Amino acid sequence: QVQLVESGGGLVQAVGSLRLSCAASGGTFSTFASWFRQTPEKERELIAAIGWNLANTWYSDSVKGRFTISKNNARNTVYLQMNSLKPEDTAVYYCATEPRTGITVPAYTYWGQGTQVTVSS
């Protein structure tokens, strides 16, 4: 049973930066490691994904050019570097792995507990 634990969330001012980490234990990431985010007003949406073996990446239009997903296979950890943050980036951020359908569909086998990111204007 893979357990995912996110860290690195917090409060930051607009145009600031944060780096989120997601560490896996009890197993490793499978196929894709992905970051989703969710607010009370919106459904959970995929914002970035990385192939665990090929390191191919995918970004949503809303974060492309500002966020960077990366991984450290030896540490079983995936990262999300978030730059030029905007108030609309405020959300709970989740990491996930082992998509059961397409990567954009929030139907993954394993999820972290989420970490809050709040961007003030």
pLDDT in tens, 28-70: 998 999 999 999 999 999 999 999 998 899 999 999 999 999 9
Beta bridge partners of 119: 12
Task: Tell me how far apart the alpha carbons of residues 33 and 58 are, in angstroms, rounded to a whole number.
Answer: 11
Residue 96: other Cβ atoms inside 10 A: 25
Q: Is the pLDDT of residue 106 over 90?
A: no
pLDDT band for 113, please (50, 70, 90 cuts): very high
SS (H, E, C) the chain: CCEEEEECCEEEECCCCEEEEEEEECCCCCCEEEEEEEECCEEEEEEEEEECCCCCEEECCCCCCCEEEEEECCCCEEEEEECCCCHHHCEEEEEEEEECCCCCCCCEEEECCCEEEEEEC
pLDDT (mean) for 73-82: 97
